[in-house]
Amino acid sequence: DTLSKLSDSDVALFNSLLSDIFVNIVSTSDAERNEVEEALREIMKEQKPPLEMSNHQISKVLQLHSALDQRIGCVIFGEPGTGKTTAWRSLKTALGKCGMLVDCH
């Protein structure tokens, strides 16, 4: 996955280059990503209390989704209280809302 290795500004540049080269083409992964992102934003609003996620956080959750699509598993690590559990739980709920089976261990 190229995007997870790029900085936020480089992701925008990379996507811009791809859209210039492949004009009017929407990949199935883009369509799925948009569906998952929409479900993710809905889930954040439905939480009690509602969770506020920045575009950067949404991007990181979508990168987790991409990593899990390409690998058997992955590890999320970081400081306590930084949203690791919220990220994977939100992704799991969003994928379920989109009708995708999620298996967590």
Residue 1 banded pLDDT, cuts 50, 70, 90: low
Asked if 3 and 70 count as a contact pair (C-beta separation under 8 A), the reply is no
Q: How far apart are CA 32 and CA 62, in angstroms?
A: 10
- Give the distance from CA 71 to its chain's centroid: 15
Q: How far apart are CA 47 and CA 34, in angstroms?
A: 20
Average pLDDT over residues 16-23: 79
Radius of gyration of the chain (CA): 14
Task: Count Cβ atoms below 10 Å from residue 6 Cβ, excluding itself.
Answer: 15
Residue-wise pLDDT for 42-94, tens only, equals 988 888 787 887 888 888 888 888 888 777 778 899 999 988 998 889 999 99
Which residues neighbour 64 within 8 Å (Cβ) at sequence distance 6 or greater? 74, 76, 87, 88, 91
Asked if 4 and 67 count as a contact pair (C-beta separation under 8 A), the reply is yes
